[in-house]
């Protein structure tokens, strides 16, 4: 087992090294250099004067990443904040929208799971609302809520709602008949039945839904923030794109990936805690 | 720039007039304060000091009899000196001199799009023009024109940087609900350009542009109207012969590099940025189409003016002040440095410098000089609004009867600007309409319908 994970790690590192090397070679800058009047060249960027590739190389990305890691919390006014602050804003938004979604999805999911009637009645709505893209909600949210940060939270909420709802309903509905029958023989009340039998039995499925949802919420926030602007990692990406600073955009992409992974891992751990052997 | 003879004259009046003495915003307030004193004094500093001193005196001696007795007993100047010992009159006076009426709202949010058109709005922050008016303004960068419109309509922003035709469109309910909007000041004139991809460097005649794809920043933009005008004058129908796409300015350079578009009529620093990155060249400056055209405006809703008239006035003064400063060529380098950081435009300083100073690389290996490449003049000519309305009608954005004068005068607050400029010691133009020429064709604001009828290529039915 250990030797397998060791070998896997080795292969991972090797792939990374090959990738970085290829990237470095590809962006070394071999574009045609024109002869330019030095006065004129002073007015032009290095892509034009030195034929440098518009795509930054891995060394530049590394240097930029180091720079951001060294001062993640600087604040130069409302439009220029450190990467740490921006991530903080994004995570706060994601968690708010996500927790709201949890508060709504779990009870409704329970209801749907316990009642075949409600399950059928609500099914068409869920099926229609589920595949709607977060960005399609955005103009509607901005127009009706009339507040951009609330709109962003609403979009997170609406997009992370469905996987949790569906999984909760499925988990609750799939509790084994025998267990419920045992509860009935022992004359367990409905509330006690819900909390001591159904909830633990459905917990792994519910948490899987929550895990899918947090991933979606994190996907959505970047897009939402790019649209409404102001703060957050999505705004950071947009602001740097504005300046055509691909280096910073890549740094942000890496950060987004790492944070998304951490969020996912947290829920994966929690899922492990509630999983039970049958 | 005749309107800006001396914007930094310390003696210019700060007050807006309105009452007999000119110190209060309304006659009612004048009367309420009349018991203090209302006499003309030589400098406003002195005058404020008088007002403040009287207020302090009144506060100390609520009973008039007691005050008179005190003054009689020791003499006025001694009394003033005595009071000054335990009440810092100087500080109180300074606080008072910030504006005429009390500001209803000090913390304001102003949205902007990161392009050089927003220069006055942006630079007023780092260079202290807002602070000078006693305002604490947060300038917030915004992702696009539709977003800035919605955020201003939502009242998240108190005022915003908008394309000059946008407040007209919002007021008329084009692309949004009709909400009365106003343009107290124009931000910049000129400062745009047609940029083409490098591969088109031999296609300088617009007649060869059939089938090309061009980007414009927004449907309700002067860019759209100028590009359509330019193409139509060269015999191309902008609706059928080429493709026009609304693309947010920051995405234009990326799109040009990716070969998604052939060119754009865009705001600067975007044009210069395309040159800087070696993906495009400047075909013409927008001033070659219409020298002195308005581009972006400083916009606020009627509601904001009604609920916070003093804050609005202070904000307008700050913008006029900043615009005046920006209109001076010798200040342009300093401004470029002030607005380049990530908190504002987030663009290379050389690019901004080339735009603002007008000494620039054209993308084809030449250095060109045109100090009027971009210029700043706040006066919202109502004839500008009429011209934009004619183009909206010409291209089918509005249909039917248009009340050109009515809308222009409702949205473009030229009369208010005249007042503000007078108060600031500047010389406003005598009229609010002026005639101008677009590509050599004279526009008479009194005859808009005839003007539209005179074009061969148009969409209006």
Range of the domain at A203: 83-278
The confidence band for B58, taking pLDDT boundaries of 50, 70 and 90, is: low
Distance between alpha carbon B263 and the CA centroid of its chain, in Å?
27
Specify whether the backbone of A113 is left (phi greater than 0), alpha (psi in -120 to 50) or beta. alpha
For residues A102 and A265, what is the distance between their CA atoms, to the nearest angstrom?
A: 18
Shortest CA distance from A226: residue in chain B: B143
Give me B247's structure tokens.
């693309």
Q: Give, in degrees to the nearest 5, the angle at Cα B160 between B348 and B145.
A: 70
**What chain A residue is nearest to B253 in terms of C-alpha separation?**
A244
Residue A70 in contact with partner chain B when CB distance is under 8 A: no
Domains and CATH numbers, chain B: 27-96 (no CATH), 100-461 (3.40.190.10)
Give me the pLDDT at residue B151, please: 87
- With contact defined as beta carbons under 8 Å apart, do B129 and B123 qualify? yes
Nearest CA distance, B7 vs chain A (angstrom): 28
The pLDDT score that the predictor gives to residue A6 is 93
Residue B34, pLDDT score: 46
Which pLDDT belongs to residue B11? 46
CA geometry: angle A56, A59, A65, nearest 5 deg: 90
What is the pLDDT, as a whole number, of residue B70? Answer: 62
Residues of chain A with pLDDT > 70, as a percent, come to 96
| Residue A259 belongs to domain with CATH number | 1.10.3720.10
The pLDDT assigned to B232 comes to 93
Q: Of A260, A264, A222, A258, give the one whose Cα is nearest residue A241.
A: A222
Mean pLDDT over each residue of chain B, to the nearest integer:
81
- B5-19 as b/e: b if 16+ CB within 10 A: eebeeeeeebbbebb
Instruction: Give CA torsion, residues B188, B189, B191, B193, to 10 deg.
Output: 130
Q: Is the pLDDT of residue B264 over 80?
A: yes
pLDDT at residue B36 above 90? no
B154 vs A contacts (CB less than 8 Å): 142, 146-148
Burial of A214 (0-12, 13-18, 19+ CB in 10 A): buried
What's the pLDDT score for residue A26?
A: 85
Residues 103-142 of A with CB under 8 A from B: 139, 142
Query: Cβ B278–A238 below 8 Å, yes or no?
Result: no
Q: Å from A193 to nearest chain B CA?
A: 48
More confident of the two residues B169 and B64:
B169
* pLDDT the model gives residue A43: 82
Residue A204 lies in a domain: yes
Give the tens place of pLDDT for each residue, A193-233: 888 888 889 999 999 999 999 999 998 888 888 877 778 89
Block residue for tokens 């008039």: B64
pLDDT of residue B69: 65
Residue B339 and residue B126 in contact, taking contact as beta carbons nearer than 8 Å: yes
Q: Kindly report the nearest CA distance between residue A56 and chain B, in angstroms.
A: 14
- Are B58 and B67 a contacting pair, CB within 8 Å? yes
Place of tokens 């001696």: B61
A273 lies in a domain? yes
Yes or no, beta carbons of B254 and A244 under 8 Å apart: yes
Contact: A45, B140; criterion CB under 8 Å = no
C-alpha dist (Å) from residue A146 to A203, B96, B298: 37, 36, 21
Instruction: For chain B, positions 370-389, list CB contacts with chain A under 8 A.
Output: none
Non-local (6+) Cβ contacts of A136 within 8 A are none
Residue A23 lies in a domain: no
Round to whole Å and give the CA distance between B332 and B355: 9
Q: Tell me whether residue A4 is in a domain.
A: no
Within-domain flag for A31: no
Q: Tell me which residue in A44, A76, A238 faces B343 most closely, judged by beta carbons.
A: A76
Q: Tell me the DSSP string of B364-383.
A: SS-EEE-TTSEE------HH
Backbone angles phi, psi at B17, to 5 degrees: 75, 180
Residue A226 and residue B139: Cβ atoms within 8 Å? no
**A138: Cβ contacts below 8 Å, ≥ 6 apart:** A151, A155, A224, A227, A228
- Residues of chain B in contact with residue A56, where contact means CB-CB under 8 angstroms, are none
H-type alpha helices, B249-403: 249-257, 270-276, 302-307, 309-326, 332-339, 349-357, 382-394
Q: Residue B141: which H helix or E strand, with range?
A: strand B136-141
DSSP track, B145-169: HHHHHHHHHTTSSSEEEEETTHHHH
Q: What pLDDT is attached to residue B459?
A: 83
Q: Which residues of B touch A80 (CB under 8 A)?
A: 341-343, 346
CA of B453 vs chain A CAs: smallest distance (Å): 38
Domain count, chain A: 1
Could you tell me the pLDDT band of residue B68, with boundaries at 50, 70 and 90?
A: low
A135 within a domain of the structure (yes/no): yes
Q: What is the pLDDT of residue B365?
A: 86
Q: How many angstroms separate the Cα of A148 from the Cα of each of A209, B147, B164?
A: 27, 9, 24
> Maximum distance among all alpha carbons in chain B?
91
Domain-located, residue A160: yes
Closest by Cβ to B141, choosing from A40, A79, A147: A79
Q: Report the pLDDT value the prediction gives residue B262, as an integer from 0 to 100.
A: 94
B312/B25 Cα distance (integer angstroms): 13
Asked if the Cβ–Cβ distance from A45 to B150 is below 8 Å, we say no
Stretches where chain A sits below pLDDT 70 are 1, 29-34, 51, 278
Rounded to a whole number, what is the distance in Å from the CA of B193 to chain A's nearest CA? 18
* A-B Cβ pairs (cutoff 8 Å, strict): 102
> Would an 8 Å CB–CB cutoff place A91 in contact with chain B?
no
Nearest CB neighbour to A80, from listed B257, B343, B350 = B343
**B142 and chain A: CB distance < 8 Å anywhere?**
yes
CB contact, 8 Å: B156 with chain A?
yes
Closest C-alpha among A115, A186, A76 to residue A107: A115
Of all residues in chain A, the one with the smallest CA distance to B251 is A242
Q: What is the 3-state secondary structure (H, E, C) of chain A?
A: CHHHHHHHHHHHHHHHHHHHHHHHHHCCCCCCCCCCCHHHHHCCCHHHHCCCCCCCCHHHHHHHHHHHHHCCCCECCCCCECHHHHHHHHHHHHHHHHHHHHHHHHHHHHHHHHCHHHHHHHHHHHHHHCCCCHHHHHHHHHHHHCCHHHHHHHHHHHHHHHHHHHHHHHHHHCCCHHHHHHHHHCCCCHHHHHHHHHHHHHHHHHHHHHHHHHHHHHHHHHHHHHHHCCCCHHHHHHHHHHCCCHHHHHHHHHHHHHHHHHHHHHHHHHHHHHCCCC
Residues 6+ apart with CB under 8 A from B337: B349
Let me know if residue A111 belongs to a domain. Answer: yes
Q: What is the pLDDT, as a whole number, of residue B272? A: 92
- The pLDDT value recorded for residue A135 is 78
**How sure is the predictor about B59, in pLDDT bands with cuts at 50, 70 and 90?**
low
B415 sits in which H/E element? helix B414-423
Distance from CA of B282 to the nearest CA of A (A): 13
The more confident residue out of B5 and B258 is B258
Q: What's the pLDDT score for residue A143?
A: 78
Whole-angstrom Cα distance, residue A240 to residue A83? 12
**pLDDT per residue over B365-417, tens digit each?**
889 999 889 999 889 999 999 999 999 999 999 888 889 999 999 999 998 88
Respond yes or no on whether ipTM tops 0.90.
no
What mean pLDDT do residues B327-336 have? 89
B368: nearest CA in chain A? A40
């Amino acid at each position: 087992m250990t030797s397998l994970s060791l070998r896997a790690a080795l292969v991972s590192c090797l792939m990374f090294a090959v990738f970085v090397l290829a990237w470095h070679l590809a962006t070394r800058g071999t574009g045609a250099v024109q002869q330019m009047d030095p006065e004129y060249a002073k007015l032009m960027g290095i892509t034009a004067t030195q034929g440098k590739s518009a795509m930054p190389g891995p060394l530049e990305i590394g240097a930029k990443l180091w720079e951001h890691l060294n001062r993640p919390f600087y604040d130069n006014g409302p439009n220029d904040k450190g990467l740490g602050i921006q991530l903080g804003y994004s995570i706060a938004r994601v968690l708010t929208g996500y927790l709201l979604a949890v508060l709504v999805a779990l009870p409704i999911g329970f209801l749907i799971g316990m009642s075949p009637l409600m399950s059928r009645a609500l099914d068409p709505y869920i099926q229609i609302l589920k595949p709607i893209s977060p960005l399609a909600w955005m103009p509607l949210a901005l127009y009706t809520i009339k507040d951009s940060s609330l709109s962003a939270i609403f979009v997170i909420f609406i997009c992370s709602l469905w996987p949790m709802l569906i999984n909760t309903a499925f988990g609750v509905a799939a509790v084994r008949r025998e267990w419920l029958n045992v509860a009935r023989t022992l004359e367990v009340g409905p509330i006690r039945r819900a909390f001591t039998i159904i909830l633990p039995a459905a917990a792994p499925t519910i948490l899987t839904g929550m895990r899918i949802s947090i991933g979606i919420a994190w996907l959505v926030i970047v897009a939402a923030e790019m649209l409404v602007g102001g703060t957050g990692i999505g705004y950071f990406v947009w602001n740097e794109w504005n300046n055509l600073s691909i280096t910073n955009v890549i740094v942000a992409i890496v950060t987004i990936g790492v944070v998304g992974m951490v969020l996912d891992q947290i829920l994966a751990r929690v899922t492990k805690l509630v999983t039970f052997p049958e | 720039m005749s309107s800006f003879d001396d914007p930094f004259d310390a003696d210019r009046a700060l007050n807006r007039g309105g009452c007999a003495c000119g110190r209060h915003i309304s006659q009612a307030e004048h009367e309420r304060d009349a018991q203090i004193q209302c006499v003309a004094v030589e400098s406003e500093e002195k005058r404020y000091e008088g007002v403040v001193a009287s207020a302090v005196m009144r506060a100390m001696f609520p009973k008039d009899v007691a005050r008179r007795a005190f003054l009689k007993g020791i003499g006025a100047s001694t009394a003033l000196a005595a009071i000054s010992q335990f009440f810092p009159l100087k500080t109180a006076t300074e606080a008072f001199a910030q504006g005429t009426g009390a500001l209803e709202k000090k913390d304001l949010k102003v949205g902007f799009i990161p392009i050089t058109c927003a220069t006055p709005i942006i630079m007023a922050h780092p260079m202290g023009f807002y602070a000078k008016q006693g305002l604490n303004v947060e300038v917030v960068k915004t992702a696009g024109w539709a977003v800035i419109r919605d955020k201003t309509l939502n009242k998240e922003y108190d005022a915003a940087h908008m394309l000059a035709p946008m407040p007209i469109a919002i007021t008329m309910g084009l692309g949004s609900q009709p909400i009365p909007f106003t343009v107290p000041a124009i931000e910049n004139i000129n400062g745009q350009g047609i940029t083409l991809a490098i591969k088109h460097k031999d296609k300088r005649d617009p007649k060869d542009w059939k089938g090309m794809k061009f980007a414009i920043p927004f449907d309700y933009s002067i860019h759209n109207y100028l590009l359509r005008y330019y193409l139509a004058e060269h015999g191309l129908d902008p609706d059928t012969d080429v493709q026009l796409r609304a693309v947010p300015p920051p995405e234009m350079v990326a799109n040009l590099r990716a070969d998604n578009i052939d060119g754009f009529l865009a705001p600067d620093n975007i044009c210069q940025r395309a040159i800087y990155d070696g993906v495009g060249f400047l075909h013409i400056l927008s001033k070659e189409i219409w020298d002195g055209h308005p581009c972006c405006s400083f916009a606020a809703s009627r509601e904001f003016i009604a609920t916070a008239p003093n804050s609005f006035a202070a904000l307008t003064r700050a913008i006029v002040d900043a615009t005046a400063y920006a209109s001076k060529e010798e200040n342009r380098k300093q401004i470029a440095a002030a607005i380049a950081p990530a908190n504002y435009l987030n663009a290379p300083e050389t690019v901004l410098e080339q735009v603002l100073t007008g000494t620039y690389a054209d993308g084809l290996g030449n250095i060109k000089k045109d100090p009027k490449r971009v210029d700043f003049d706040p006066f919202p000519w109502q004839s500008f609004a009429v011209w934009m309305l004619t183009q909206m009608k010409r291209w089918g954005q509005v249909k039917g009867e248009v009340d050109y004068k009515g809308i222009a005068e409702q949205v473009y607050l030229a009369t208010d600007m005249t007042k503000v400029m007078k108060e600031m010691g500047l010389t406003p133009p005598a009229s609010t309409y002026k005639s101008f020429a677009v590509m050599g064709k004279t526009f008479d604001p009194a005859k808009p319908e005839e003007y539209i009828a005179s074009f061969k290529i148009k969409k209006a039915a």
